[in-house]
Amino acid sequence: MFSITDDQKALVDAVRDFAEQRVAPHALDWDAEKHFPVDVLAEAGELGLGGIYVGEEHGGTGLERTDAILIFEELAKADPAFAAYISIHNMVAWMIDSFGSDEQRARWIPDLVGMAHLASYCLTEPGAGSDAAALKTRAVRDGDHYVLNGVKQFISGAGASDCYVVMCRTADTGARGISAVVVHKDTPGLSFGPNEKKMGWHTQPTRQVIFEDVRVPVADRLGEEGDGFRIAMKGLNGGRLNIGACSIGGGLAALDKATRYLKERSAFGEPLTTKQALVFELADMSVKLETAHTMLMRAADALDRNDPDTVRLCAMAKLVATESGYEAADTALQLHGGYGYLHEYGVEKLVRDLRVHRILEGSNEIMRMIVGRGLIG
Ligand code: FAD
Ligand code: 2MC
């Protein structure tokens, strides 16, 4: 777990080449223009990044969660928001691969793996975010169909995605009354809100997804009726690790920029690297990012092995990684002085992009709640 194999090194090198050549040079423009680069996502799909841990027997790349950590760190060094969308897409692809029928896999997986089709994960609602089991989007059985009504809030990729995995209420029995269904973009009655104006993550759209008498075949349900919440949560365990890895990648990019800047910049007749207080800031950033990376790898290994402690370890790792990544970006901005506040230096984008990782895929308060519940029983 703590040393990189030759295969992993080759993988990291290939992803780094792609990220440096096809993503990093455009990241600031995509951010400024709020551009969702579906063409470059399709190129990522050609590399196998659309189904990183989808089984090889189903056309996926068949890698492990520890490999995914390395991949998302590399992608996020180039653009955390671009990387984070690929993470969400992979979460959905894995859910269909793991809980779908043969027919569902045959229908969705090939295009998702290649990222010719994009995917969105629809759990949050206007009145149910952290308390996800309180969701109200209703799926009422009508013969061989469910009829869906309700609104999903803050859905990443919405409007651009072809595939929507939707958690909806099929019974009034709390978390156990939730089912997961796969809905195609063109289904009548499905519509989208405007693209939200956000602080960061400009490279991917965020919209409401609105269901008005949307008829979904019962055959498009993942797993059994009532399994939806547990399926959603299992998807999120890996999602939380990937978002953590996106934070570490962004944090490492911030550390690299700050280190180079301190070497180049002089004040009071000397380079800024002569100020030990500033070099200690770099050292602290490095220590915290390395600590978080180690926790991510430990949790990813637990997830790969289906360890009973997986949920707690994923929550801890998400908390530590998203706090460390954000802190590194914010410190890097400070170390750049006024230049850090300018778009062209790329540091303020990292601060804006990484800020939301402390909120989504389970806020860091919810991560503390998961860890705390484990302590007090
Ligand atoms: P609330 O749940 O209303 O929380 C408000 C505050 O109270 C937070 O600080 C929270 O941590 C705190 N809090 C709540 N309950 C407790 C508690 N019990 N103890 C202590 N503190 C608590 N969702 C999706 O389903 N799919 C997506 O693709 C998606 N993408 C997103 C993209 C963006 C850019 C954003 C901003 C959000 C996205 N989300 C998505 C939604 C995200 O997961 C939620 O915003 C998040 O889970 C928090 O829910 P909320 O916003 O309703 O906040
Ligand atoms: N992994 C596997 N199973 C889980 C799980 C996890 N991480 N978390 C809960 N479960 C199971 C749990 O074991 C229980 O199963 P069973 O019915 O067999 O007993 C069931 O789910 C219900 O769990 P709880 O009783 O703990 O439910 P409660 O409502 O008390 O709390 C909580 C659940 C708060 C942990 C959950 O609602 C949560 O994680 N909230 C945060 C929501 C969130 O993460 N949203 C992210 C949206 S996606 C996003 O932001 C993107 C950018 C894509």
| 125-150 mean pLDDT | 98
Question: What are the residues facing 215 on neighbouring strands?
Answer: 147
| 100-126 mean pLDDT | 97
On average, the pLDDT of the chain sits at 97
Q: Is 361 a catalytic residue?
A: yes
From residue 287, alpha-carbon distances to 21, 32, 80, 251, 294 in Å are 28, 32, 20, 11, 11
Instruction: Name residues contacting ligand 2 (CB within 6 A).
Output: 88, 121, 123-124, 130, 132-133, 156, 175-176, 229-230, 233-234, 236-237, 239, 311, 360-362, 366, 370
DSSP code per residue over 277-307 = HHHHHHHHHHHHHHHHHHHHHHHHHHHHTT-
DSSP label of 205: -
Q: Nearest ligand to the C-alpha of residue 236? A: 2
User: Is 90 exceeded by the pLDDT of residue 258?
Assistant: yes
Instruction: Name residues contacting ligand 1 (CB within 6 A).
Output: 88, 120-124, 129-130, 154-156, 198, 201, 206, 356, 359-360, 363, 365-366, 369
Which residue is it, tokens 């365990």? 237
Pocket test of ligand 1: the residue of 31, 87, 91, 130 to mutate, having most ligand atoms within 8 Å of its CB, is 130
| 302-311 mean pLDDT | 97
pLDDT at residue 3, rounded to an integer: 79
Q: Compute the distance from residue 311 Cα to the ligand 1 centre, in Å.
A: 18
Tokens of 8: 């992993």
Q: What confidence tens digit (pLDDT) does each residue in 46-75 have?
A: 999 999 999 999 899 999 999 999 999 999
User: Is 80 exceeded by the pLDDT of residue 1?
Assistant: no
Q: Compute the distance from residue 362 Cα to the ligand 1 centre, in Å.
A: 6
Confirm whether pTM is higher than 0.90: yes
| 356-361 mean pLDDT | 98
Tokens of 36: 């969702």
Q: Nearest ligand to the C-alpha of residue 196? A: 1
Q: Nearest ligand to the C-alpha of residue 123? A: 1
| 209-220 mean pLDDT | 98
User: Is 90 exceeded by the pLDDT of residue 147?
Assistant: yes
Taking CA atoms only, the protein residue closest to ligand 2 atom 48 is: 361
Q: Predicted confidence band at 87 (pLDDT cuts at 50, 70, 90)? A: very high
ipTM of the complex: 0.99
239 alpha-carbon distance from chain centroid: 5
User: Is 80 exceeded by the pLDDT of residue 2?
Assistant: no
Domains of the chain (ranges; CATH) run 6-118 (1.10.540.10), 120-224 (2.40.110.10), 229-376 (1.20.140.10)
Residue from 125, 281, 323, 361 carrying the catalytic annotation: 361
| 352-368 mean pLDDT | 98
pLDDT at residue 279, rounded to an integer: 98
pLDDT at residue 277, rounded to an integer: 98
**How far is 201 from 292, CA to CA, in rounded Å?**
22
Q: What confidence tens digit (pLDDT) does each residue in 154-173 have?
A: 999 999 999 999 999 999 99
Q: What confidence tens digit (pLDDT) does each residue in 7-47 have?
A: 888 888 999 999 999 999 999 999 999 999 999 999 999 99
Q: E strand or H helix at 179, and its extent?
A: strand 178-184
Taking CA atoms only, the protein residue closest to ligand 2 atom 37 is: 132
| 296-325 mean pLDDT | 98
Question: What are the residues facing 121 on neighbouring strands?
Answer: 165
Q: Compute the distance from residue 58 Cα to the ligand 1 centre, in Å.
A: 33
Q: Compute the distance from residue 60 Cα to the ligand 1 centre, in Å.
A: 30
CA-based radius of gyration for the chain: 21
The three-state DSSP-derived secondary structure of 79-124 is CHHHHHHHHHHHHHHHHHHHHCCHHHHHHHHHHHHCCCCCEEEECC
| 294-323 mean pLDDT | 98
Q: Compute the distance from residue 363 Cα to the ligand 1 centre, in Å.
A: 6
